[in-house]
């Protein structure tokens, strides 16, 4: 079924937790298909067999068997199996197994705003610098980061660019500055609302780098188009263009990216020095 | 139970002035027609909005033909206007179109007739309900002519967006009137069905349509008050500086929002969906009721499993109050909450399956007449089936992670409401038109209306599942053009839009049919469909204010078709089976 759904449009899955999600989607589509074909076949046979020109007199009682009740019970049982066997455990994993920042993971924050995704990485020390409303400056400091706070000096802040390593647990803490947005990575089967006033973690582990994904996409309509972050919740007139970019690196590539970002930071602080003098 | 006595007769009403008779009428039939005409116009209006939006989706940033000059922006549908039209399409279709047509029009007109009552229990409340609806409608339409334009935060109006966007205040005021109208109407329906049933019309002899309206009225009565309260709270957030739905520390366009904060955006979602999920059943139950009537009549046999259908409808009503948060899985819900709401959602699928299966099984052994009402009623079954089934993956939180807020959702609920409910409403119009006017609608035009509508409905909504599986978000101004993951399914946008415009053309035979048939349709007597329920005992149209010459006595269950050993294949409820 996953193959059929992929033919229809479902993107290939690039995350470990996505496998289970695809399984549930497939299972429930099987159930839907069986029910629909069952109803449909019964429907078509009935309207042909019992059209007035063929069957002049209706049967007062109609169907006498109570097979339908048996089938309905079967549907209940299947739904229960899907719920208890699949849906509940997946959700428990999603919300209860959020990896702790002390583990060997990549931990970053996402601060959504109308129509931009801001990413905040803690930098080498693994400590997020403080942020403050009063420091927010839409051009220079969209998240209001206090560089002189503890751990703040080496923090990396990017706009619309999420870089992560492959085969590593990623934890992203989502919040929003203004309205509700929804952080969606269709290929990783990740979606979570970013709600102002709340911080909500999502976690996942990618199984493929962007480069490998692009190779996979050769010859399809996706060819040459990388991974993106979509906004799934109406957030204003720019909702349609609230797009970010996701790059999944191999470990070396990710470290190289971090190094590059760090060098920008050094340049920036040099700039500040110059400005002050 | 004491049946209502007819305390006034038609004579005293003969000399009513025009304005009492047709405008500020207290006759449930006139009010029903007022509701019907107004809601059909709103349905048409709401449909036109989406036809404009579908231009932008098919041909992004090309000037809209015909109405482009009205839109500003050089004829291009700008994103802010797109959002406005989207919010108003939803609002108008649900609150001004389908619900008033299903409950206000069909409920008002046919509840008293089917239970053998002279009128609704509270005729003046009935009039107040219509006029409150009318004012709400005028406010909603009026919002198009304000400098800021109509609301643009979706029909769901999630704060903080809805708290800060323009146009929302007037939407909220309009909603207060619409909700008030529904509350007044629902009290009336409940009282009427409990108090005014004809002698002998016991609960298990009620037509299925009455059961569906009865449960619907309870949903409206119990689910709307939280939304009315929520609407007033949001209005206060906007007008007097409260922060019910605004947390502290919001920064809008670089400026800190000067509000006290401390509120919760999620509170709105709970209050909203506490109404809006039962509302889904408000949209679907009357439709099931109509389809039940039409199917029993045109299969010429009793509905199969009438009792299980009745219990199913009542159970659906109860359950619909405890599934609302399945709209909110992605807001950060924990395991306990999500397990509860997933379970209730799976449970609620069961009565729906029972009712739908009973209607399918009812066909077996029938002598099926394929007239226009029956075609629409038959098409309802598989179409609603698709709508219901595609709700299953959305009700499982795990599958919802991928499908939430995508076109899959849009496809799902449109299958329920458009080729589902709206087809049922068409079935009702074709079926009961002779009762309302004394004339039948044209069968030829009816079929010209039905077949293209069926094809184009599927042309519009089926590809939405494909786009949704691909992960294309809803409410995108450019239909997903911006996104790489949409690139494989974008070609469907034009197909869906063309289907939508053709669906518009397919309504022309219907419009002609209604107008033509009022004066020129084939004249018919009281019971042209040879039906069994009480509305067909009254003259066509029924007598002003009293409906029946004499309140009928009921002897048996509603669908006594093809009773063995009887010559006629139908036995009306007011005719004893054994003489």
Q: What is the pLDDT of residue B10?
A: 46
Ramachandran quadrant class, A111 (left: phi over 0; alpha: psi -120 to 50; beta: rest): beta
Residue with tokens 């008033």: B100
Tell whether A122 and A237 lie within a shared domain: yes
CATH of the domain at A142: 2.60.40.420
- Residues sharing a CB contact under 8 Å with residue A154, sequence separation 6 or more, in sequence order: A123, A124, A125, A262, A265
Helix (H) or strand (E) holding A158: strand A156-159
Interchain CB distance below 8 Å, A195 and B265: yes
Q: What is the pLDDT of residue A275?
A: 46
Q: Which residues of A touch B477 (CB under 8 A)?
A: 237, 239-240
Residue with tokens 């089976």: B577
B578 or B460, which is more confident: B460
Interface confidence, given as ipTM, is 0.94
Within 10 Å of residue B347's Cβ, how many Cβ atoms?
A: 18
Into how many domains does chain A fold?
2
Q: How confident is the model at residue A269 (pLDDT cuts 50, 70, 90)?
A: low
Closest approach of chain A CAs to the CA of B382, in angstroms?
Answer: 7
Q: How confident is the model at residue B579 (pLDDT cuts 50, 70, 90)?
A: low
Q: How far apart are CA B421 and CA A86, in angstroms?
A: 32
CA B234 to chain centre: 25
Q: What is the pLDDT of residue B3?
A: 44
Q: Is the peptide bond before B541 cis (omega within 30 degrees of 0)?
A: yes
Q: What is the pLDDT of residue B11?
A: 47
Helix (H) or strand (E) holding A172: strand A169-176
Q: What is the pLDDT of residue A270?
A: 58
Question: Pick from B505, B507, B558, B491: which is nearest to B531 by CA?
Answer: B558
Q: How far apart are CA B121 and CA A184, in angstroms?
A: 52
Interface check B337 vs A, CB under 8 A: no
Closest approach of chain B CAs to the CA of A165, in angstroms?
Answer: 21
Domain boundary among A47, A70, A96: A96
Which residue in chain A is spatially nearest to B156 when comparing CA positions?
A: A234
* A5-36 pLDDT, tens digit each: 998 999 999 999 999 999 999 999 999 999 99
* B536-577 pLDDT, tens digit each: 999 999 999 899 999 999 999 999 999 998 888 999 999 998
Of B252, B302, B304, the CB nearest to A178: B252
Q: What is the pLDDT of residue A120?
A: 96
* A52-89 pLDDT, tens digit each: 999 999 999 889 888 889 999 999 999 999 999 999 99
Closest approach of chain A CAs to the CA of B262, in angstroms?
Answer: 8
The share of chain B scoring above pLDDT 70, in percent, equals: 97
Residue A124 lies in a domain: yes
Q: What is the pLDDT of residue B175?
A: 96
Q: How far apart are CA A97 and CA A83, in angstroms?
A: 19
Residue A16 lies in a domain: yes
Interchain CB distance below 8 Å, B335 and A92: yes
Interchain CB distance below 8 Å, A182 and B469: no
The share of chain A scoring above pLDDT 70, in percent, equals: 96
* A183-234 pLDDT, tens digit each: 999 999 999 999 999 999 999 999 999 999 999 999 988 899 999 999 999 9
Taking a C-beta distance cutoff of 8 angstroms, is the pair B180, B228 a contact? yes
β-partners of residue A156 are A121
* A224-266 pLDDT, tens digit each: 999 999 999 999 999 999 999 999 999 999 999 999 999 988 7
Buried b or exposed e, range B422-457, using 16+ CB within 10 angstroms? bbbbbbbbbbbbbbbbbbbbbeebbebbbebbbebb
Q: Which residues of A touch B330 (CB under 8 A)?
A: 182, 191-193, 232
Instruction: Return mean pLDDT, chain A.
Output: 92
CATH of the domain at A67: 1.10.287
Q: Which residues of A touch B361 (CB under 8 A)?
A: 42, 62-63, 68
Ramachandran quadrant class, B390 (left: phi over 0; alpha: psi -120 to 50; beta: rest): alpha
Taking a C-beta distance cutoff of 8 angstroms, is the pair B270, B325 a contact? yes
Say whether pLDDT at B6 is over 50: no
Q: Which residues of A touch B390 (CB under 8 A)?
A: 32
Q: What is the pLDDT of residue A2?
A: 85
CA B434 to chain centre: 22
Tell whether A129 and A48 lie within a shared domain: no
Taking a C-beta distance cutoff of 8 angstroms, is the pair B571, B537 a contact? no
Of A8, A113, A241, the CB nearest to B466: A8
Candidates B244, B398, B412, B568, partner chain A, best to mutate (most A CBs within 10 A): B398
Q: How confident is the model at residue B21 (pLDDT cuts 50, 70, 90)?
A: confident
CA dihedral A167, A173, A176, A177 (to 10 degrees): -110
**What letter would DSSP give residue A175?**
E
Taking a C-beta distance cutoff of 8 angstroms, is the pair A11, B332 a contact? no
Q: Which residues of B touch A80 (CB under 8 A)?
A: 346
Q: How far apart are CA A171 and CA A173, in angstroms?
A: 7
Q: How confident is the model at residue B248 (pLDDT cuts 50, 70, 90)?
A: very high
Domain boundary among A67, A96, A125: A96
The share of chain B scoring above pLDDT 90, in percent, equals: 91
Q: How far apart are CA B64 and CA B77, in angstroms?
A: 7
Tell whether A37 and A173 lie within a shared domain: no
Domain boundary among A96, A129, A158: A96
Say whether pLDDT at B383 is over 90: yes
Interface check B249 vs A, CB under 8 A: yes
Tell whether A19 and A154 lie within a shared domain: no
Tell whether A136 and A13 lie within a shared domain: no
Say whether pLDDT at A277 is over 70: no
Q: Which residues of B touch A114 (CB under 8 A)?
A: 252-253
User: How many Cα atoms are found within 13 Å in the side-chain-facing hemisphere of A223?
Assistant: 4
Q: Which residues of B touch A21 (CB under 8 A)?
A: 398-399, 401-402
Q: How far apart are CA B35 and CA B177, in angstroms?
A: 15
Interchain CB distance below 8 Å, B251 and A46: no
A106: helix, coil or strand? strand
Candidates A23, A29, A36, A58, partner chain B, best to mutate (most B CBs within 10 A): A58
**What domains lie within chain B, and their CATH numbers?**
29-243+260-536 (1.20.210.10)
* B48-84 pLDDT, tens digit each: 999 999 999 999 999 999 888 888 778 999 999 999 9
Q: Which residues of B touch A92 (CB under 8 A)?
A: 335
Both ends of chain B: CA-CA distance in Å?
26
Which tokens sit at B346? 């799976």
Tell whether A90 and A152 lie within a shared domain: no
Closest approach of chain B CAs to the CA of A184, in angstroms?
Answer: 8
Residue A134 lies in a domain: yes
Mean per-residue pLDDT, B271-291: 95
Q: How far apart are CA A113 and CA A143, in angstroms?
A: 10
Q: How far apart are CA B451 and CA B467, in angstroms?
A: 25
Give the A:B interface size as CB pairs under 8 Å: 312
The share of chain A scoring above pLDDT 90, in percent, equals: 82
β-partners of residue A192 are A183
Tell whether A210 and A134 lie within a shared domain: yes
Tell whether A235 and A200 lie within a shared domain: yes
- φ, ψ of residue A112 in degrees (nearest 5): -85, 150
CA distances (Å), origin A233, targets A14, A275, B84: 23, 41, 15
Tell whether A85 and A116 lie within a shared domain: no
Of A177, A179, A227, the CB nearest to B161: A179
- The angle at the Cα of B42, spanning B41 to B47, to the nearest 5 degrees, equals 100
Burial of A135 (0-12, 13-18, 19+ CB in 10 A): middle
Alpha-helix runs per DSSP H in A120-250:
210-216
β-partners of residue A116 are A113
Residue A81 lies in a domain: yes
β-partners of residue A175 are A111
Interchain CB distance below 8 Å, B485 and A187: yes
Q: How far apart are CA A118 and CA A244, in angstroms?
A: 9
Interchain CB distance below 8 Å, A75 and B350: yes
Tell whether A146 and A250 lie within a shared domain: yes
Say whether pLDDT at B14 is over 80: no
Q: Which residues of B touch A182 (CB under 8 A)?
A: 330, 404-405, 473
Tell whether A64 and A127 lie within a shared domain: no
Ordered strands of the A190-194 beta sheet: A161-165, A244-249, A227-231, A181-185, A190-194
Does the pTM surpass 0.90? The reply is yes
Residue A101 lies in a domain: no
Interface check B166 vs A, CB under 8 A: no
Interface check B130 vs A, CB under 8 A: no
Of A50, A55, A197, the CB nearest to B264: A197
The interaxial angle of helices B335-362 and B372-389, nearest 10 deg, is 150
Alpha-helix runs per DSSP H in A50-87:
67-81
Q: What is the pLDDT of residue B578?
A: 74
Q: What is the pLDDT of residue B73?
A: 77
Say whether pLDDT at B227 is over 90: yes
Taking a C-beta distance cutoff of 8 angstroms, is the pair B367, A57 a contact? yes
Cα R_g (chain B), whole angstroms: 24
- φ, ψ of residue B547 in degrees (nearest 5): 70, -60
Tell whether A184 and A256 lie within a shared domain: yes
Range of the domain at A203: 106-276
Q: What is the pLDDT of residue B16?
A: 80
* B400-411 pLDDT, tens digit each: 999 999 999 999
Interchain CB distance below 8 Å, B469 and A59: no
Q: Which residues of A touch B474 (CB under 8 A)?
A: 232, 234
Which tokens sit at B552? 């009928």
CA B469 to chain centre: 27
Interface check B346 vs A, CB under 8 A: yes
Q: How far apart are CA B484 and CA A226, in angstroms?
A: 7
Within 10 Å of residue A199's Cβ, how many Cβ atoms?
A: 14
Mean per-residue pLDDT, B103-122: 97
**What letter would DSSP give residue B242?**
-
Q: How far apart are CA B151 and CA A218, in angstroms?
A: 43
| Helix-, strand-, coil-residue percentages of chain B, each rounded to 5 | 65, 0, 30
Taking a C-beta distance cutoff of 8 angstroms, is the pair A211, A14 a contact? no
């Amino acid at each position: 079924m996953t193959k059929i759904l992929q033919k229809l449009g479902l993107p290939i899955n690039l995350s470990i937790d996505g496998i289970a999600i695809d399984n549930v989607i497939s299972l429930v589509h099987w159930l839907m298909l069986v029910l629909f074909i069952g109803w449909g076949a019964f429907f078509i046979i009935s309207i042909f067999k019992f059209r007035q020109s063929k069957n002049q007199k209706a049967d007062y009682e109609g169907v006498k068997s109570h097979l339908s009740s048996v089938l309905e019970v079967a549907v209940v049982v299947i739904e229960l199996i899907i719920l208890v066997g699949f849906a509940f455990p997946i959700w428990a994993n999603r919300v209860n197994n959020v990896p702790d920042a002390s583990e060997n993971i990549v931990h970053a924050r996402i601060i959504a705003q109308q129509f931009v995704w801001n990413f905040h990485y803690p930098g080498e020390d693994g400590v997020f610098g403080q942020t403050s409303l009063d420091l927010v400056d839409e051009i220079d400091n969209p998240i209001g980061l206090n560089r002189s706070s503890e751990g703040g000096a080496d923090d990396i802040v990017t706009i619309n660019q999420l870089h992560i390593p492959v085969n590593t647990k990623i934890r992203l803490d989502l919040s929003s500055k203004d309205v509700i947005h929804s952080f969606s990575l269709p290929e990783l089967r990740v979606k979570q609302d970013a709600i102002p006033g709340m911080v909500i973690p999502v976690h996942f582990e990618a199984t493929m780098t962007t480069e490998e994904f692009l190779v996979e996409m050769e010859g399809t309509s996706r060819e040459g188009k990388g991974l993106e972050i979509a906004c799934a919740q109406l957030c204003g007139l720019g909702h349609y263009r609230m797009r970010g970019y996701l790059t999944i690196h191999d470990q070396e590539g990710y470290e190289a990216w971090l190094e590059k970002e760090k060098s920008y930071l050094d340049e920036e602080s040099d700039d500040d020095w110059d400005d002050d003098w | 139970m004491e049946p209502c006595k007819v305390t006034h007769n038609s004579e005293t009403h003969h000399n009513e002035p025009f304005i009492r008779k047709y405008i500020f009428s207290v006759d449930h039939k006139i009010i029903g027609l007022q509701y019907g005409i107004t809601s059909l116009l709103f349905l048409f209006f709401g449909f036109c909005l989406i036809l404009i939006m579908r231009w932008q989706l098919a041909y992004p940033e090309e000037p809209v033909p015909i109405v482009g000059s009205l839109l500003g922006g050089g004829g291009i549908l700008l994103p802010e206007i797109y959002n406005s039209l989207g919010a108003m399409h939803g609002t108008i279709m649900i609150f001004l179109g389908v619900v008033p047509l299903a409950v206000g029009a069909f409920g008002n007109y046919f509840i008293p007739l089917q239970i053998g009552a002279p009128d609704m229990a509270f005729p003046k409340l009935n009039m107040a309900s219509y006029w409150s609806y009318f004012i709400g409608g005028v406010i909603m339409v009026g919002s198009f002519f304000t400098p800021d334009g109509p609301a643009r935060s979706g029909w769901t109006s999630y704060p903080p967006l809805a708290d800060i966007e323009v146009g929302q205040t007037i939407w909220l005021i309009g909603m207060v009137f619409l909700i008030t109208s529904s509350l007044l109407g629902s009290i009336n329906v409940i009282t009427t069905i409990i108090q005014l049933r004809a002698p002998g019309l016991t609960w298990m002899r009620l037509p299925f349509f009455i059961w569906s309206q009865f449960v619907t009225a309870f949903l409206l009565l119990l689910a709307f008050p939280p939304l009315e309260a929520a609407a007033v709270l949001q209005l206060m957030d906007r007008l007097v500086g409260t922060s019910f739905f605004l947390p502290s520390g919001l920064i809008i366009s670089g400026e800190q929002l000067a509000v006290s904060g401390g509120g919760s955006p999620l509170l709105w979602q709970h209050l909203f969906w506490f109404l809006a999920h039962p509302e889904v059943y408000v949209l679907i139950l009357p439709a099931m009721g109509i389809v039940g009537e039409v199917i029993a009549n045109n299969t010429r046999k009793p509905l199969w499993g009438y009792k299980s259908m009745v219990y199913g409808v009542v159970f659906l009503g109860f359950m619909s109050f405890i599934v609302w948060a399945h709209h909110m899985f992605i807001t950060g819900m924990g395991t306990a909450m999500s397990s509860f709401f997933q379970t209730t959602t799976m449970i609620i699928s069961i009565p729906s399956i029972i009712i739908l299966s009973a209607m399918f099984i009812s066909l077996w052994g029938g002598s099926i007449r394929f007239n226009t009402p029956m075609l629409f009623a038959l098409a309802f079954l598989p179409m609603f089936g698709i709508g219901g089934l595609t709700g299953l993956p959305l009700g499982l939180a795990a599958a919802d992670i991928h499908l939430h807020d995508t076109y899959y959702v849009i496809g799902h609920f449109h299958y329920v409401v458009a080729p589902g409910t709206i087809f049922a409403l068409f079935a009702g119009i074709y079926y009961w038109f002779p009762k309302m006017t004394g004339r039948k609608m044209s069968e030829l035009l009816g079929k010209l209306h039905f077949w293209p509508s069926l094809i184009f409905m599927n042309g519009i909504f089926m590809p939405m599942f494909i786009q949704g599986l691909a992960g294309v978000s809803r409410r995108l101004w450019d239909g997903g053009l911006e996104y790489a993951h949409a690139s494989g399914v974008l070609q469907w946008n034009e197909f869906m839009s063309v289907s939508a415009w053709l669906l518009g053309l397919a309504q022309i035979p219907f419009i002609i049919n209604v107008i033509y048939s009022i004066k020129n349709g084939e004249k018919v007597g009281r019971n042209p469909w040879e039906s069994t329920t009480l509305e067909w005992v009254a003259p066509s149209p029924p007598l002003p204010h009293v409906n029946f010459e004499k309140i009928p006595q009921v002897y048996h269950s509603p669908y006594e078709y093809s009773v063995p050993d009887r010559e006629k294949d139908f036995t009306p409820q007011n005719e004893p089976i054994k003489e």
